[in-house]
Structure 1
Amino acid sequence: MQASLGERLFRLGVILALGAFGFLMLVPLLKVVSTSFSSPYAVDAGRVFLWPVDFTLASWAKIVERTALWRSFGLTVVVTVLGTTLCLLLTALMAYPMSKREFRPARLLAVMVVITMIFRYPIIPYFLTVREIGLYDNFWVLIVPNLLTAYNLIIMRTFFRELPRELEEAAQMEGCGYFRTLFHLVLPISKAVLATLGIFYAVMLWNQFMHPLMFIDNQHLYPLQLRLREYMVSTESTLASGFEGSVPYNNATLKAATVIFATVPILAVYPFLQQHFVKGATLGSVK
């Protein structure tokens, strides 16, 4: 049935409104990108907004020379890839039995999971507990405390519940146990929810700040966001230190380049998983 004129005008209005809001969301990012590619004189004069002025790559050339920044970048990549894999594995191993109605403790476990969403842990006991188990100033503190989140667990459990039971019954008739059914049947047909939760976990691990701030003192274990914070809050010329005279960058352009350096990699993941994202979020969130 062809849409009426009113419906088409309404859709056009929605598209224009969403486009305008989307552009407004991009303005701060575009401002930072433009600053990173502009000369320091144009930035200091306030002439940079959405387009670079006196285009230069000097800030980026200086940023990529910093060993500490690349060390933090590599550490964050390892944490994100390894952590996301372990998070999805643990979430699947817990969500699958909870999705089975014949599993009697499932309802009790679900209640306990919801309670953790309502009542947050006290910071001091949490800090002391993590330190007592040997995770203070330890690489694994960037992964282990984030291995499982209640929201993601509920999404995956609900998704598993909606899968046709006939498929699993057929697998069991062929002699498959629960683990084999999970890894050879359920997970391969659950790419949508795995992609969705993979994005959630990857963004969380890539952007984590409070855990490193609380538990990391060794600068060699600084993840990217903590290194970025170190640059942002410094009152001295941390980025441009050691250089005198006229240089084609300043702290503002270097900080902008560092921010984009830390943001672009995680944004680059979205186009590859976008086709699964909406489907996974919708199917896993409807009870």
Structure 2
Amino acid sequence: MPAAPESERRRRRRTGAGSAGQTRGERAFAVVNYVVLLGVVAVTLYPFLNILAQSFSDESAIRAGRVNLLPVGFNTTTYQLVMQDSLFWTNYKNTVVYTVVATAIAMVLTTCYAYVLSKRHLRGRSLLIGIAVFTMFFNGGLIPNYVLISSLGLRNTLWAIVLPNAISVFNLLVMKAFFENLPAELEEAAQIDGLNTYSTLLRVVLPLSKAVIATMVLFYAVSFWNSWFQAFLYMDRSELFPVTVYLRNLIAGASTATSAGAGADVAQVAANIQSVTMVLTILPIVCVYPFIQRYFVSGVMLGSVKG
């Protein structure tokens, strides 16, 4: 390859272009970008590391505010107390079952509803969208909902948690926008090949919607995993509680015992039960998130920006 002309070499020296073809300004922007992003990561990660350190720290160090990023006076009393309780594992299993079933039902209903609303030629489409959006701002209220669930015989059952929150309108609108952005020619080609509406959805649309589906699964799973008020309201038997209600009751019990002047173990539990609770509830989501993270950004953007 012939050498670059002298004028081109001088231009590169003036602009600061390196061997990678970047100008001095581009390299400066990259450095600033990395520094800012590292700062954002540090600010985001610090609270979680602090909570993790507190969950393994001694009660006196927590009370004195000496816990930062590393545990002080390593202590696992609270973890041992929680994990030795068989009710904890029963409630943890309940949370897994509730989350899986509720997410599956929510995804089926949301996907079907969103696909229907994405068809501009559908009669009554505006009414269906209006009904969905109306529920974002108005609902029957706590007492009417409780009366309805009780009259349907759903108290102390899985369905009291699953059905009232089966469709999130926000998730519905994101999926609707995503389906509207898909090329209409794909479905027309499927119809020419003899596929009906259901086959088109299952064999053409859904395989192209992995990004938004993974994102919606994450949204629903996190919502149902962290939910506690529905179970607290509609369930009376402790063996049916999700783990969030178990830990909430544990926090309330430890706080009450501490105010009554209980022993050292109870004081230790009261000091870091909240941090232990956060770690135990967030751990499964943290483990699952890396596997669907690559779909997350693209799914939200494709479903929220109309072409």
* Equivalent pair of 1:231/1:255 in contact (CA under 8 Å): no
Root mean square deviation of aligned Cα: 2.7
Compared CA separation, residues 109 and 250, structure 1 to 2 (3 A): closer
Give 2:296's aligned residue.
Answer: 277
Aligned residues: 284
Q: Per the alignment, in what secondary structure is the counterpart of residue 256 of structure 2?
A: coil
Q: Per the alignment, in what secondary structure is the counterpart of residue 190 of structure 1?
A: helix
Structure 1 or 2: more helix by fraction: 2
Give 2:127's aligned residue.
Answer: 108
Distance in 2 separating the partners of 1:6 and 1:176: 54
161, 166, 176: which one aligns with 1:147 = 166
Q: Which runs of 5+ in 2 are unaligned?
A: 1-16
Compared CA separation, residues 190 and 64, structure 1 to 2 (3 A): same
94, 113, 123: which one aligns with 2:113 = 94
AA partner of residue 140 (structure 1): W
AA partner of residue 286 (structure 1): V
Give 1:236's aligned residue.
Answer: 256
AA partner of residue 246 (structure 2): R
TM norm structure 1: 0.88
Instruction: Kindly report which structure 2 residues correspond to 1:139-178, keeping only aligned pairs within 5 A, or say none.
Output: 139-178=158-197
Compared CA separation, residues 58 and 214, structure 1 to 2 (3 A): closer
Instruction: Please identify, of 168-177 and 254-263, the stretch whose mean Cα deviation from structure 2 is larger.
Output: 254-263
Give 2:216's aligned residue.
Answer: 197
Compared CA separation, residues 6 and 121, structure 1 to 2 (3 A): farther
AA partner of residue 152 (structure 1): N
Shift of 1:87: 0.8
Give 1:76's aligned residue.
Answer: 95
Instruction: Kindly report which structure 2 residues correspond to 1:1-287, keeping only aligned pairs within 5 A, or say none.
Output: 5=24, 9-10=28-29, 12-234=31-253, 235-237=255-257, 250-287=269-306
What is the identity percentage for the equivalent residue pairs of Structure 1 and Structure 2?
Answer: 37
Shift of 1:44: 4.2
Distance in 2 separating the partners of 1:120 and 1:30: 39
* Equivalent pair of 1:76/1:223 in contact (CA under 8 Å): yes
* Equivalent pair of 1:232/1:255 in contact (CA under 8 Å): yes
Please give the per-residue CA displacement for 1:125-176, whole angstroms capped at 9, x wherever unaligned: 2222222222222221111111101111111111111112222122222221
TM norm structure 2: 0.82
Compared CA separation, residues 143 and 9, structure 1 to 2 (3 A): same
Distance in 1 separating the partners of 2:265 and 2:241: 31
Q: Which has the higher contact order (CA 8 A, sep 6+)?
A: 1
Distance in 1 separating the partners of 2:182 and 2:70: 49
